[in-house]
Amino acid sequence: MIFNAPGAGSDPSSPMCSAKGCRAEAVWVLAWNNPKLHTPERRKTWLACEEHREHLSQFLGVRGFLKDVVRLEDWEAAQN
């Protein structure tokens, strides 16, 4: 996944929350891995706003998929 709008807010292309029907700006990155589909080092990512971080984390957590939850700005910094 590519994040091309660091530090956005007013930027229309700023990353949005992955929760269904939510169009809020993403603040969190949920890094996850499905061991049945992905190699161990692979990371899929979901984006979450403040409101949906808990909900999405639980969804992944109960399945044992959730690996990490980091702030979007920190995630982007770590990718460079």
The answer to whether residues 28 and 69 touch, using CB atoms and an 8 Å cutoff, is yes
- Cα–Cα distance, 11 to 76 (Å, whole number): 16
Instruction: Between 46 and 65, name the residue whose CB sits nearer to Zn ion.
Output: 46
Check residue 70 for interaction with Zn ion (CB under 5 A).
no
Binding track over 33-62 against Zn ion, x by CB under 5 A? ----------------x--x----------
In eight-state DSSP terms, residue 38 is S
**From 13-21, 32-40, 56-64, 71-79, span contacting Zn ion (CB under 5 A):** 13-21
